[in-house]
Amino acid sequence: MDAGDNFAYMLPVMMLTFACAFLVVARWGSRPALAWGMGYLCAGCGFAAPMVMSAFPTVVMALTADTLLLGAMYLFGQALLIQFGMPSYAALRMSICLVGGMLVTFAVLGRQSLPAELILHDLTSSLMLAVPLVAIRRRLQQPIHKALFVIVSLVVLDTMIRTAITAAVMAPSADTAGFIGSPYAFYMQATASVLGLVLALVALAAVTLDVVATYRDAAEHDPMTGLLNRRGFERASPDAARGRPSSGAVISCDIDHFKSINDGYGHGAGDNVIVAFAQMLRSHLPQHALAARFGGEEFVAYLPGHSAHTASLVAEGLRRAFNARDWSDCGIQRSITASFGIASPQPGDHSLHDAIARADTSLYAAKAAGRNRVMLGEQVVRRAGSALAAA
């Protein structure tokens, strides 16, 4: 068995193996993995067609392989667009695929020209991958996505080089039997093997990392409010270890008499109150602030680079807005209030949790003082005109 035979067998086996790997990842909810998997399935079947269809007429074998390989390129483009959250451009890409497929069919049946078939097939494949490449070029944020962009660009470049070689060196009278044993066929199979392998590895890494990121995001966010949960907050917040506390302020807040809302109006109404408070908290916080639901009706926010005074203003604005909200849309015919405690990291803190503990102490003081207020240390904060006073 010569090198060409080795490539002929290796290509479909390799691509079908990666198709299975992508389809396994797709079971975890990855739409790009499904498109990549179906693309590699088509590619594997396309490269296997000359071997499994040897008893069929040559034109049937050629059209079957060409159709499957064009379908693979269409699906690869679809996978790229899904991966980067882009529109499908389905009309444009499908038009390229259909027109290219008809021209390839004419080259096989009408002209019976192998060079024309290869040139038209490669040009169509290049165009179907070029469309998503142009679309995603400004969305390359992560290193793995940049690597994916580079390898797909190399696939397009390799395809264009093959087109030029075909046009320059292949005789118009070349037939399929002579082509299969030619150096050009060996080059095509060799580059397809290498680039197909690298593309599969990079694409598989990209979709796997995206799946992991999705599950990590779900594990670190509260499903009801979309805010960070305690675990997510700890991962996102700075560590004040080594005696160097981060600058900023912490707000600890709690919805007052929340149990009475659940008891009097039902847990559905209570959930609506929690979601509304989370939305208001998010809208009142400055940019780059972290907000988390620590459990039940308890929330914590960290304002990096802001003073306790600024945090007090933010909390007071949120307190007033929450107190003034009309809850009749939730079936609640009374006002609902919240209490807030403020603290800042201090020298000697081991982590941000030390500041959170002090904010919790202030929150408990606000509850003990009658609720519906903001406490900074042991002082009640309230707005008087544009000034912040303590009483």
- Contact yes or no for 83/36 (Cβ under 8 A): no
Question: For the packed helices 267-284 and 258-265, what is the interaxial angle rounded to 10 degrees?
Answer: 140
Dihedral (C-alpha) 10, 11, 17, 20: value to the nearest 10 degrees?
-160
Residue among 21, 61, 63 at smallest CA distance from 40: 21
Amino acid type, 271: D
Can 297 be counted among the known catalytic residues? Answer: yes
Cα–Cα distances in Å, from 219 out to 216, 227, 237, 291? 5, 11, 16, 15
Cα–Cα distances in Å, from 149 out to 32, 142, 159, 233? 15, 11, 15, 33
The region that residue 220 occupies, defined by phi over 0 for left and psi between -120 and 50 for alpha, beta otherwise, is alpha
- Contact yes or no for 200/18 (Cβ under 8 A): yes
How many C-beta atoms lie closer than 10 Å to residue 211's C-beta? 17
Q: What is the 3-state secondary structure (H, E, C) of 40-68?
A: HHHHHHHHHHHHHCCCCCHHHHHHHHHHH
Q: Rounded CA gap, 158 and 227, in Å?
A: 46
Please pick, among 234, 297, 298, 316, the residue that the annotation labels catalytic.
Answer: 297
Cα–Cα distances in Å, from 7 out to 4, 95, 186, 200? 5, 32, 8, 17
How many C-beta atoms lie closer than 10 Å to residue 94's C-beta? 13
Cα–Cα distances in Å, from 374 out to 52, 71, 256? 76, 63, 12
The residues assigned a catalytic role are 297
